[in-house]
Amino acid sequence: MTTTPNVRPERPQFSSGPCAKRPGWHPEALRDAPLGRSHRAKVGKAKLKLAIDLTREILQVPADYRIGIVPASDTGAVEMALWSLLGARPVDMLAWESFGEGWVTDVVKQLKLADARIIKAPYGELPDLSQVDTRGRDVVFTWNGTTSGVRVPDADWIAADREGLTICDATSAAFAQRLDFAKLDVVTFSWQKVLGGEGGHGVLILSPRAVARLQSYAPPWPLPKIFRMTSGGKLIEGLFEGETINTPSMLCVEDYIDGLTWAQSVGGLEGLIARANANAAALFDWTARSSWIGNLAKVPQTRSNTSVCLSIVDPEVVSRGSEAVATVAKAIVSRLEAEGVAYDIGAYRDAPPGLRIWCGATIETADVKALTHWLDFAFAEAKAKLAKAA
């Protein structure tokens, strides 16, 4: 008989997106949203410009990089970059989890780029970054693999004297990991991740080199209006000053501003990184003591501090095969959701069976520590049921 833990997380939101709201969040935080007003009115444009300016401040984006708010979350931002910028030179596509695989599909099957080179690694590993030609080719990669929990440890593998562009999907890294903007030409993310914003909006950051490509290169395929960032060969500057392509939700923009203001209050980027690191460390310490759970990311230096992905490694369960592992993982997820202890902690649908626990900056470390007791409890219960059914 397992003993029910006597401590519970105060907030059970451990989803990897949309993620937990900031501590202390309340709908009253949105009272200044200009609802019922045009986003093109002075007040609407001022709010969008404030969101852009605060993004630059918190993420420490260089002054000569453009920042735009775009539709369709991080996916929309990445697609805008792929469709608008690729095709000018060969491209290396890196994939080690589901979203990276998705960008490979878009480039190979939709854009049909014959000179795309695919460099892959299985879940839990990074590709061999030494194979990447960052001097002569464009490069597309995810900084943090949201569905594998594997991240690049740094940008040292990217050449400073590169001629190609680096296009980085940073959606579960931005605001929790330091991005080396000097090595990045396109950075995309969604504010629904580390800052716990509402879904539907993406952010696109362009280096001067990316802007030069936009102004000098016209792709051979038609560009939908929603992707167009130039007119007459010149950058549409208004897109990066709050004049969005489509109609944004001013309620969501206000929520993003609230998250950015909270980020300032906890010490900016350094404070956000420290919070995520502390949360991830609580899980890493627990897995190091555990005999039944392990980190999916094999190399410690590549382990995510946001989307921590865990594998069941208990010898008795593993010996019964992958179906038994999946059964136990699902039982843990269901049990903790029923208890109101943890929501949405199952592995991504394309990932190996296991758990995925969000440790971004809006999570409290005390809640992560409390969760680990419940994970032990739920596993013991699920393993006992598995043995009984055998």
Domain boundary among 264, 281, 316: 264
283 & 257 share domain? no
What is the reported pLDDT for 266? 98
Are residues 215 and 77 part of one domain? yes
* Residue ranges making up the domain that contains 279: 268-389
pLDDT tens digit sequence for 309-332: 999 999 999 999 999 999 999 999
Nearest to 320 by CA among 287, 343, 353, 276: 353
Same domain as 196, residue 90: yes
User: Domain with 251 in it: what CATH number?
Assistant: 3.40.640.10
CATH code, 356: 3.90.1150.10
Question: Does residue 364 form part of some domain?
Answer: yes
* Shared domain check, 92 and 69: yes
The average confidence (pLDDT) of the chain is 97
- Inside any domain, residue 22: no
Q: Is residue 9 part of a domain?
A: no
206, 235, 264: which is the final residue of a domain?
Answer: 264
The pTM of this model reads: 0.98
In the predicted model, what is the mean pLDDT of residues 337-365? 98
pLDDT above 90 (res 2): no
- E-assigned strands of the chain? 66-71, 91-95, 116-120, 138-142, 144-145, 150-151, 166-169, 186-190, 201-206, 230-231, 234-235, 293-295, 307-312, 355-358
The predicted structure's pLDDT at residue 1: 55
Task: Give the mean pLDDT of 281-294.
Answer: 98
Asked which of 220, 245, 264 is the last residue of a domain, the reply is: 264
Average pLDDT over residues 138-164: 97
- 235 within a domain of the structure (yes/no): yes
pLDDT at 33 over 70: yes
Same domain, 257 and 272: no
Q: In whole angstroms, what is the distance from residue 170 CA to residue 125 CA?
A: 18
Residue-wise pLDDT tens digits, 94-129: 999 999 999 999 999 999 999 999 999 999 999 999
Same-domain pairing of 260 and 272: no
- 5 domain residue, yes or no: no
In the chain, how many domains are there? Answer: 2
pLDDT one-digit tens code per residue, 242-284: 999 999 999 999 999 999 999 999 999 999 999 999 999 999 9
